[in-house]
Amino acid sequence: MIERYKPRRVTVLSRDELKQSEMKVRWPNDEIRFLLGDVRDYDRLRRAFQGVDIVVHAAALKQVPAAEADPFEAVQTNIIGGKNVIEAAIDTGVTRVLALSTDKAVAPANLYGATKLVAEKLFVQGNAYSGDSGTRLSCVRYGNVIGSRGSVIPVFLEQRKTGKITVTDQRMTRFWISLQKGVQFVIESLGRMRGGEIYVPKIPSMQIMELAEVIAPGCEIELVGIRPGEKLHEAMISADESGRTFEYENYFMVRPAYPVWPEEDWIGGTPVPEGFEYSSDANPSTMSGTELADLIEGL
């Protein structure tokens, strides 16, 4: 952001003092400001948002088993925390807020996905609360980020040292996006958002068995069975959303069910067919083993 867009300041607000200290060493830059805080604390958000134009809301508890075990905590961060971000942004005059969502928010099968679905609805309809304040709120929704904490790729990389990796179900498919492309999609969405949209990038899918073969070739594969709250395939757009979904060259846009702004505020795009679904098992774009290997090599 600093090198490409020359902002006056980039503020990092998080509750992880260790990662903040590590980032300070890696990027000793006067334009980066680090603030300790938690999205559960409205007063802290309100103070942190003073003088801020744009907020990217990425805070979440995202481990599926942890959310099932401690559901109240997931609700506090993913739902109440999102509400706090919205209210603090409106109250301090932030211009644009973009919240990061997940494919697990579509027809959720676990509590994590359910909390992200609620968060999406809060940010989409939060525009009705902003009124004439000028604050606009939207979401991006994408799949698994390659190499992110808690994803299957670091697990496979660690397991291959033992000569055996575990796979839940050999039929499983997932959407994949690189960290760099995820960041770029967020930045592009900030530039095009009007308020209330959910932006979905066109990204490739891959079968779990091919993923395993690329990461751990020759290793024994143990099938352990699908876990509670897990799906065989993920979807980023449901059939129920097809009536509000428009296709662009590199992404889809889901318009709000109860738009606050005039329809003409959204320009271009082609309506998708009725009943359209964007799912990992029927995705026309697939990632090759070579492409994945190149991405993993760069981690």
Backbone angles phi, psi at 125, to 5 degrees: -85, -10
Is residue 116 annotated as a catalytic residue, yes or no? no
Q: Are 146 and 177 in contact (CB under 8 A)?
A: yes
Are the C-beta atoms of residues 138 and 119 closer than 8 Å to each other?
no
For residue 225, count CB atoms less than 10 angstroms from its CB and return exposed for 0-12, middle for 13-18, buried for 19 or more. Answer: exposed
CA distance 216 to 198: 36
Rg (CA), the chain: 20
- Per the residue annotation, which of 19, 83, 104, 121 is the catalytic one? 104
| Residue 199 contacts residue 139 (beta carbons within 8 Å) | yes
Q: Contact 29/2 with Cβ under 8 angstroms?
A: yes
Q: For residues 234 and 126, give the distance between their C-alpha atoms in angstroms, rounded to a whole number.
A: 26
The type of residue at 267 is I
Alpha carbon distance 157, 2 (integer Å): 32
Question: What one-letter code names the amino acid at 241?
Answer: E
Among 202, 123, 211, 128, which Cα is nearest to 169's? 211
Question: Positive or negative, the Cα torsion across 254, 259, 260, 262?
Answer: positive
Dihedral angle computed from the Cα positions of residues 182, 188, 191 and 195, in that order, rounded to the nearest 10 degrees: -50
The neighbour count for residue 180, using CB atoms within 10 Å, is 12
Residues annotated as part of the active site: 104
